[in-house]
């Protein structure tokens, strides 16, 4: 990744202008051309360094449900259970972690009541307990990552 | 959100996969939706203002950017102190988020979650040591759950019409 790409990533994690020519405006700040910025963003997306360029929604304010859930999965069944869990479109992220509770995933649903349903469906399919760990308060969320 | 208008719902759907990479992206979205560029700009500005859009810009894949270690550090903090501690820990430089979550007694007594990202595990553990020293947390029961693998990383998908299918719902490895 070159210096310009780094600068773009560091500068554009939020506060993208909502104006008629937003890329031109940002390009001017970065002292590059609009075409160059669009090309760089295309490359970063193609390389998989960005998952997308756009909005991050506040799930609860959209009226949806959001929670963190965890499962204790026997190591020998891990791949199979991961496939079962990931097949649910409501599962947005899924991480293996080093603990007895070794599978951690985010559930994002359009309807809040769907959270409990999905949890029950996952429990039924896998035969394993799902621990629902809903958020009760948010003290800090730092969304920027310097590169 | 109950008071989202139909136009706002359609805007939310239209841009969730990403903003078009063209000179006038809001005009392109407007064309798709039968709105003017000015209406799209006003609609998005409003969604940002009311907090439905938390942030608008680059969404990074942190692993691909070199932040290979991430630890979820969970703490068992007395309920009476959890708000104060959460606010304190959230101020710490190396932490990317800090949430209070429901406990699952008796197996899971932890109620405060912090995420620490770093280039490698040692860097994360050094940050954690610093955190513990800074806030005198050595007596607080905690666990460090490093991620071993990310199986799925896809954005949430929002549709407001039952028949509609999200285009980016396919799993993304990472």
Is the CB of B155 less than 8 angstroms away from the CB of A92? yes
- Asked if residue A37 lies in contact with residue A8, where contact means CB atoms within 8 angstroms, the answer is yes
Ranges of each domain in chain A? 3-47, 59-134
Residue B66: which residues within 8 A CB-CB, separation 6 or more? Answer: A147, B119
Give the pLDDT confidence of A15-54 residue by residue, as tens digits: 899 999 999 999 999 999 999 999 999 999 999 888 888 8
Chain B residues closer than 8 Å to A47 by CB: 64
Candidate CATH numbers 3.40.50.1820, 3.90.245.10, 3.30.70.3460, 3.40.50.720; the one for domain B69-146: 3.30.70.3460
Ranges of each domain in chain B? 6-50, 69-146
Q: Helix, strand, or coil here: A143?
A: coil
pLDDT class for B168, splitting at 50, 70, 90?
very low
The ipTM assigned to this model is 0.77
Chain A residues closer than 8 Å to B16 by CB: 54-55, 57
Is the CB of B1 less than 8 angstroms away from the CB of A63? yes
Q: How far is A143 from chain B (nearest CA, A)?
A: 7
- Above 80 in pLDDT, residue A9? yes
Strands A50-57 and A65-71: unpaired
- For range A113-129, the mean pLDDT: 97
Q: Helix, strand, or coil here: A50?
A: strand
CA distance A56 to B116: 20
More confident residue, B63 or B132: B132
- Kindly state the DSSP code that residue B105 receives in the 8-state scheme: T
Min mean pLDDT across A17-21, A118-122, B49-53 is at: B49-53
Chain B residues closer than 8 Å to A95 by CB: 147-151
pLDDT at A138: 87
Is the CB of B72 less than 8 angstroms away from the CB of A147? no
Chain A residues closer than 8 Å to B98 by CB: 138-141
Give the pLDDT confidence of B88-125 residue by residue, as tens digits: 988 888 788 899 999 999 999 999 999 998 889 999 99
Whether CATH 3.40.718.10 fits A59-134:
no
Q: What is the mean pLDDT of chain A?
A: 91
Chain A residue nearest residue B159, CA to CA: A110
Q: How far is A49 from chain B (nearest CA, A)?
A: 5
Instruction: Kindly compute the dihedral angle of the four CA atoms of residues A136, A138, A139, A144, in this order, to the nearest 10 degrees.
Output: 150
More confident residue, B167 or B57: B57
Q: Name A19's bridge partners.
A: none
pLDDT at B144: 96
- Kindly state the DSSP code that residue B118 receives in the 8-state scheme: E
């Amino acid at each position: 990744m070159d210096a310009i790409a780094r600068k773009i990533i560091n500068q554009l994690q939020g506060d993208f202008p909502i104006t008629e020519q937003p890329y031109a405006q940002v390009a001017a700040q970065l002292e590059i051309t609009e075409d160059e910025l669009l090309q760089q963003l295309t490359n970063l997306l193609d390389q998989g360094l960005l998952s997308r360029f756009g909005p991050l929604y506040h799930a609860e304010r959209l009226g949806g449900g959001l929670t963190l859930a965890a499962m204790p999965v026997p190591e020998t069944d891990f791949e199979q259970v991961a496939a079962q869990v990931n097949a649910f479109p409501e599962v947005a992220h899924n991480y293996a972690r080093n603990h007895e509770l070794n599978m951690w995933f985010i559930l994002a649903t359009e309807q809040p009541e769907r959270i409990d349903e999905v949890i029950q469906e996952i429990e039924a399919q896998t035969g394993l307990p799902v621990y629902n760990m809903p958020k009760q308060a948010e003290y800090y969320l730092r969304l920027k990552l310097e590169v | 959100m109950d008071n989202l208008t139909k136009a706002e719902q359609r805007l939310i759907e239209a841009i969730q996969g990403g903003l078009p990479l063209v000179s006038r992206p809001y005009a392109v979205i407007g064309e798709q939706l039968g709105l003017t560029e000015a209406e799209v700009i006003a609609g998005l500005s409003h969604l940002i203002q009311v907090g439905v859009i938390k942030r608008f810009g680059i969404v990074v894949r942190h692993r691909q950017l070199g932040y290979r270690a991430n630890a979820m550090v969970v703490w068992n903090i007395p309920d009476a102190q959890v708000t104060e501690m959460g606010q304190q820990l959230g101020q710490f430089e190396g932490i990317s988020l800090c949430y209070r979550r429901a406990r699952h007694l008796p197996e899971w007594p932890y109620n405060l979650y912090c995420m620490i990202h770093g280039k490698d595990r040692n860097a994360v553990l050094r940050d954690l040591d610093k955190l513990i020293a800074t806030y005198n947390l050595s007596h607080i029961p905690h666990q460090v759950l490093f991620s071993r693998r990310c199986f799925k990383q896809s954005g949430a998908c929002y549709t407001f019409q039952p028949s509609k299918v999200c285009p980016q719902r396919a799993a993304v490895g990472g």
